[in-house]
């Protein structure tokens, strides 16, 4: 018999625990030529802002040992264009649409959350706490507990859709940040975002990408991400979406066992467009061979 | 339709110290147009992690070929793979060269020949090829190109070959007056020179160039491969790699 793979994240029921990581799956469309997107637990959309954003100057990516550095700079098409040009296509699939979003300051976060709350076809909101605005103190909302607290509280007020907070790994105590999100009413948290990192070209003595610092992703960060998911899961009851370097089902299963209710496949999509699908299949096979009837019986079963 | 294929290596030959010709056996029918590219993933390991973009060099029957210069980690591994080994290729991706209506001019600098060879082959006896390299030993497929082209002009920086100097100089002398649409691929410095020549001569010839940028997904999703154009950032993998030369901010 087919094991149950359904999991609940906030008000969302995902048919399986595998979603795509924001920024690595475009607007879905790009990957629909490779497989049926309805197979996914959910699609998480590229980070969206109210207005279109141009992003950082090239070069924007650089490969590192078992990973990659990126400084895309949150380039995106903006809310209106997304709703008009991308959302109708996404609605055709039998999966959940989670919109990752950010603002230049807290006011923009709130305004966009309000709009997304009223947007048909958007099932959940994933708030990226990495605010890109160099001139706003909200830039540090992902790093400073007091700012995170206020930001989550204010955004929570304007939406009753499932609100997921996407946390940065750049903190002293991830468990504390996770707890703040829970206390302020978030439905779930996802972690981790990319790890700030740097590579220098010794000939030019400059960074190899357009920005001095970029975000590291891929298998290189997986053990860090796993540790953070485990730490957070010990202090919060709300679901965690585990992200970071997941390429195979085995990687994903580690996160589930550590306490993640769902996982997101990111950089792996670049290496093999079928990655997310293969992870789904692999998890199912594991459940069958291990005789586990319900995936929820596996989640968080790591022993110290 | 873009596909992921695991294909067997049937040839991996060093043509020079640095340049290799790689041929793979195509199992399912594969279609690709001149100027398009594939992402090649050398092995299943995580280092190198990402696929490497290579232009389609030739596609005939059940054989697809790539011509590549060994540059760093990825292409080095690629150059050492043995016959019979399988590699994953994803694609074809990107915009191809608009099909030429009649005769056309081609400018290739060094390994840039990899991107235009298939174009020349698809439209035989219509191309005037201006082909330049550092030295004569890096001029590849000369006989074949001579048969496929209306005329071939070889320039080498060392001076052996017909013309001494950079390929764009030969084009300035012999190519401009042909008054044909131009297809070009080569190092950025060549593209810049070409644009300068076109501007100096107030030429309004159509000129298509294929450019390079680092890539991750190859299919428009990651926004990692953008270059600056007159209309803002554009993705090389989907809005390119072929651009009109006057679109580019050089
Ligand atoms: C559309 C397109 C078509 C190409 N076609 C060909 C071809 O037919 N023949 C050929 O020899 N080369 C071609 N190139 C360049 C080729 O992709 C690079 O030389 C190759 O990726 C270098 O990889 P590496 O691991 O050996 O080098 P490394 O320097 O170790 O690579 C590190 C990273 O940088 C990237 N990178 C390095 N140089 C380039 C470059 N010039 N362009 C894009 N990415 C780069 C790599 O893909 C990799 O992710 C093409 C590039 C593009 C964008
Ligand atoms: C090219 C690229 C773009 C990204 N864009 C976003 C984004 O817009 N918003 C966001 O919250 N995370 C973004 N991320 C982070 C990923 O969603 C994910 O958290 C991170 O890459 C770690 O997972 P991975 O190792 O599986 O890629 C991006 C990552 C990459 C590589
Ligand atoms: S390589 Fe990902 S958008 Fe071009």
Q: Where are the domains of chain B?
A: 3-93, 104-247
Distance, CA of A33 to CA of A50 (rounded, Å): 28
Average pLDDT value for chain A: 97
Task: Retrieve residue B8's tokens.
Answer: 């067997």
Searching chain A, which residue's CA lies closest to the CA of residue B50? Answer: A271
Which residues of chain B have a Cβ shorter than 8 Å from any chain A Cβ? 1-2, 4, 41, 46-51, 88, 90, 213-228, 232-233
pLDDT tens figures, B112-146: 999 999 999 999 999 999 999 998 899 999 999 99
Ligand 1 midpoint to CA B214 (Å): 7
Average pLDDT rounded to a whole number, residues A104-128: 97
Cα A167 from Cα A190, distance rounded (Å): 6
User: Ligand 2 pocket by C-beta < 6 Å: which residues?
Assistant: A 21-24, 46-47, 70, 72, 74, 100, 128, 166, 193-194, 217-218, 221, 243-246, 266-267; B 222, 224
Q: How much is the pLDDT for B1?
A: 52
Same fold, B3-93 and B104-247: no
Q: Strand pairing of A61-64 and A67-70?
A: antiparallel
3-state DSSP call for residue B244?
strand
Q: Mean pLDDT throughout B24-41?
A: 94
Q: How much distance in Å is there from the Cα of B132 to the middle of ligand 3?
A: 30
Residues A295-299 have a mean pLDDT of: 98
Whether A131 is catalytic:
yes
CATH of region B104-247: 3.40.50.80
As a whole number, mean pLDDT of residues A161-172 equals 96
The residues near A227 (Cβ < 8 Å, ≥ 6 apart) are none
From B102's Cα to the closest Cα of chain A, the distance in A is 34
State both tokens at A198: 């740097």
- Answer whether residue B159 shows pLDDT above 80: no
Cα–Cα–Cα angle for A34, A37, A40, rounded to 5 degrees: 120
Is there a contact between A264 and A21 (Cβ–Cβ < 8 Å)? yes
Kindly state the tokens that stand for A227. Answer: 């540790």
Run of H or E including A232? helix A222-233
Q: Are A271 and B49 inside 8 Å of each other by CB? A: yes
Report the separation in Å between the CA atom of B32 and the middle of ligand 1, taken as the mean of its atom positions. 19
Q: How far apart are CA B145 and CA B121, in angstroms?
A: 8
Residue B250: what pLDDT? 85
Among candidate residues A37, A19, A18, A41, the one with its CA nearest the CA of residue A28: A37
Residue from A191, A190, A198 nearest A216 by CA? A198
CA B250 to ligand 1 centroid distance, Å: 19
Q: What would the mean pLDDT of A162-166 be, rounded to a whole number?
A: 98
Tell me the pLDDT tens digit for each residue of B88-113. Answer: 999 999 999 999 999 999 999 999 99
**In which residue are the tokens 């699939």 written?**
A93
Q: What is the mean pLDDT of residues A238-258?
A: 98
Size of chain B, expressed as the number of residues it contains: 250
Whole-number average pLDDT of chain B: 94
Ligand 1 atom showing the smallest separation from residue B114 Cα = 8
Count other Cβ atoms within 10 Å, centred on residue B110.
Answer: 21
Q: Cβ separation of B224 and A66 shorter than 8 Å?
A: no
Is the CB–ligand 3 distance for residue B223 below 6 Å?
A: yes
For B221, the token pair is 């999703």
Identify the band that residue B75 occupies on the pLDDT scale cut at 50, 70 and 90. very high
Give Cα separations from A140 to A52, A107, A137, A148, A166 (angstroms): 22, 15, 6, 8, 14
| pLDDT at B2 (0 to 100) | 61
Specify the pLDDT at position A237: 97
* Beta-carbon separation of B221 and A30 below 8 A: yes
Is pLDDT of B183 > 70? yes
Task: Provide the 10 A C-beta neighbour count for residue A89.
Answer: 13
Closest C-alpha among A224, A174, A172 to residue A195: A224
List the domains of chain A with CATH numbers: 7-55+73-196+216-297 (3.20.20.70)
pLDDT classification of A184: cutoffs 50, 70, 90:
very high
Q: Evaluate the CA torsion angle A102, A107, A108, A111 in order and state its sign.
A: positive
**Active site residue: A9, A48, A106, A131, which one?**
A131
pLDDT the model gives residue A131: 85
CA distance B177 to chain A (A): 36
Residue identified by tokens 């030993």 is: B137
CB contact under 8 A, A218 and B49: yes
| β-bridge partners, B82 | none
Task: List pLDDT tens digits, range A112-122.
Answer: 999 999 999 99
Does residue A41 carry a pLDDT above 90? yes
Question: Cα dihedral angle (B226, A134, A67, A223), rounded to 10 degrees?
Answer: -150
B73-100: buried (b, 16+ CB within 10 Å) or exposed (e) per residue?
A: ebbebbbebeeeeebbbbbbbbbbbeeb
Q: What one-character DSSP code corresponds to residue A90?
A: H
The predicted structure's pLDDT at residue B187: 96
Is the pLDDT score of B226 beyond 90?
yes
Q: How far is it, in rounded angstroms, from Cα A25 to Cα A166?
A: 16
Parallel, antiparallel, or unpaired for β B127-133 and B207-210? unpaired
Q: How many CB atoms lie within 10 A of CB A286?
A: 18
Sign, Cα dihedral of A19, A163, A94, A27: negative
Give the integer Cα–Cα distance in Å for B144 and A107: 64
- Tell me the C-alpha distance between B112 and B184, whole Å: 8
CATH for B3-93, among 3.40.50.300, 2.40.30.10, 3.40.309.10, 3.40.640.10?
A: 2.40.30.10
For the residues B161-175, what does the mean pLDDT come to?
Answer: 88
Nearest CA in chain A to B227: A58
pLDDT band at B157 (very low <50, low <70, confident <90, very high): confident
CA dist A202 → A65, B47, B155 (Å): 17, 21, 33
- Alpha carbon distance A280, A20 (integer Å): 11
Contacts of B45 (CB under 8 A, 6+ apart): none
Answer whether B89's CB lies under 8 Å from B141's CB: no
Percent of chain A with pLDDT over 70: 100
Would you tell me how many other CB atoms lie within 10 Å of the CB of residue B179? 10
Q: Is the pLDDT of residue A25 over 70?
A: yes
Integer Cα distance of A190 and A260 in angstroms: 9
Query: A286 in helix, strand or coil?
Result: helix
């Amino acid at each position: 018999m087919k094991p149950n793979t359904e999991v609940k994240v906030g008000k969302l029921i995902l048919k399986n625990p595998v979603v795509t990581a924001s920024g690595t799956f475009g607007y879905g469309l790009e990957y629909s030529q490779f497989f049926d997107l309805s197979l996914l637990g959910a699609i998480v959309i590229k980070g969206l802002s109210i207005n279109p954003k141009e992003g950082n100057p090239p070069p924007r990516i650089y490969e590192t040992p078992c990973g990659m550095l990126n400084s895309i700079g949150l380039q995106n098409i903006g809310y209106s264009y997304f709703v008009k040009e991308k959302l109708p296509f996404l609605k055709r699939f039998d999966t959940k649409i989670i919109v990752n979003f950010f603002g230049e300051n807290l006011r923009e976060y709130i305004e966009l959350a309000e709009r997304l709350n009223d947007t048909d076809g958007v099932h959940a909101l994933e708030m990226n706490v990495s605010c890109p605005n160099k001139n706003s103190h909200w830039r540090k909302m992902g790093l400073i507990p007091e700012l995170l607290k206020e930001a989550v509280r204010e955004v929570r007020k304007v939406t009753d859709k499932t609100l997921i907070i996407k946390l940065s790994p750049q903190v002293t105590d991830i468990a504390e940040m996770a707890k703040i999100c829970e206390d302020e009413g978030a439905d779930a948290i996802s972690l981790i975002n990319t790890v700030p990192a740097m590579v220098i070209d010794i000939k030019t003595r400059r960074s190899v990408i357009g920005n001095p610092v970029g975000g590291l992703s891929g298998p290189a960060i997986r053990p860090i991400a796993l540790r953070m998911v485990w730490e957070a899961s010990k202090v919060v009851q709300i679901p965690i979406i585990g992200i970071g370097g997941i390429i195979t089902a085995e990687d994903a299963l580690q996160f589930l066992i550590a306490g993640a209710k769902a996982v997101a496949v990111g950089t792996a999509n670049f290496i093999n467009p079928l990655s997310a699908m293969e992870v789904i299949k692999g998890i199912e096979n594991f459940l069958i061979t291990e005789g586990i009837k319900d995936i929820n019986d596996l989640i968080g079963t790591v022993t110290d | 339709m873009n596909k992921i294929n695991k294909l067997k290596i049937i040839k991996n030959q060093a043509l020079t110290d640095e340049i290799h010709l790689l041929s793979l056996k195509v199992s399912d029918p594969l279609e690709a147009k001149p100027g398009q590219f594939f992402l090649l993933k050398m092995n299943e390991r995580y280092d190198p992690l990402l696929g490497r973009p290579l232009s389609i060099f030739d596609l005939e029957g059940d054989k697809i070929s790539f011509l590549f210069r060994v540059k760093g980690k990825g292409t080095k591994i690629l150059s050492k793979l043995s016959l019979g080994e399988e590699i994953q290729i994803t694609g074809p991706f990107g915009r191809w060269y608009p099909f030429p209506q009649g005769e056309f001019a081609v400018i290739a600098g060094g390994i840039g020949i990899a991107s235009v060879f298939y174009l020349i082959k698809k439209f035989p006896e219509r191309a005037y090829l201006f082909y330049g390299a550092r030295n004569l030993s890096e001029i590849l497929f000369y006989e074949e190109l001579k048969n496929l082209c209306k005329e071939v002009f070889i320039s080498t920086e060392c001076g052996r070959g017909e013309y001494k100097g950079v390929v764009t100089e030969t084009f300035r002398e012999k190519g401009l007056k042909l008054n044909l649409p131009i297809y070009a691929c080569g190092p950025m410095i060549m593209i810049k020179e070409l644009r300068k020549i076109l501007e100096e001569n107030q030429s309004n010839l159509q000129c298509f160039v294929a450019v390079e940028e680092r890539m991750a997904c190859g299919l428009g999703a990651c926004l990692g491969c953008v270059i600056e154009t007159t209309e803002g950032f554009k993705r090389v993998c989907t809005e390119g790699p072929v651009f009109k030369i006057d679109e580019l901010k050089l």
